[in-house]
């Protein structure tokens, strides 16, 4: 298989799998709403559980029923979702320029270790050895003692 075909198949799978998940959720939501509206006064927890369980186990029966009944909400909703998923996968993903993509610092949400030149830039941190840091610390303690321990 060529690289272009693999990319196309991968994009198609990224359309089909989420679409099937949305179809499943539409069926559950639509059937649950239908059960609640049908059994307004006689609705029990057991009835609702049984109906939702049946819809979860056999969603394609309800998909077939909704399509045969020409249910406009179901058909338009799924059409919109399918078109949206196709648009998102196959839209032209060109490289951003300007503030949208700063290649030196990474994109939003990326993390990386800082370079030594970025840390020790002379403004934020000064490179010193452990002995120099310890000597500076000891000197600061001696100046506190000579001042009488007052802050």
The mean of the pLDDT values for the chain is 83
Q: Report d(CA 102, CA 99) in Å as an integer.
A: 6
Handedness of CA 43, 45, 50, 52 (dihedral sign): positive
Read off the pLDDT of residues 26-67 as tens digits, 9 standing for 90 and up: 999 988 998 999 998 888 999 999 999 999 999 999 999 999
Read off the pLDDT of residues 79-126 as tens digits, 9 standing for 90 and up: 999 999 888 887 866 655 555 555 566 556 667 787 887 777 777 777
Please give the model's pTM, rounded to 2 decimal places.
Answer: 0.56
């Amino acid at each position: 298989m060529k690289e272009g075909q693999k990319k196309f198949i991968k994009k198609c799978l990224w359309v089909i799998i989420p679409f099937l998940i949305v179809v499943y959720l539409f069926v559950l939501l639509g059937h649950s709403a239908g059960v609640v509206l049908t059994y307004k006064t006689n609705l029990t927890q057991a009835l609702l559980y049984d109906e939702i369980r049946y819809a979860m186990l056999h969603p394609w029966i309800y998909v077939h029923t909704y399509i045969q009944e020409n249910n406009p909400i179901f058909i338009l909703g799924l059409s919109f979702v399918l078109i949206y998923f196709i648009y998102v996968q196959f839209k032209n993903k060109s490289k951003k320029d300007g503030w949208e993509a700063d290649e030196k610092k990474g994109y939003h949400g990326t993390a990386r270790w800082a370079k030594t030149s970025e840390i020790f830039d002379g403004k934020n941190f000064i490179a010193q050895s452990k002995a120099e840091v310890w000597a500076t610390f000891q000197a600061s303690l001696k100046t506190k003692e000579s001042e009488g321990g007052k802050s």
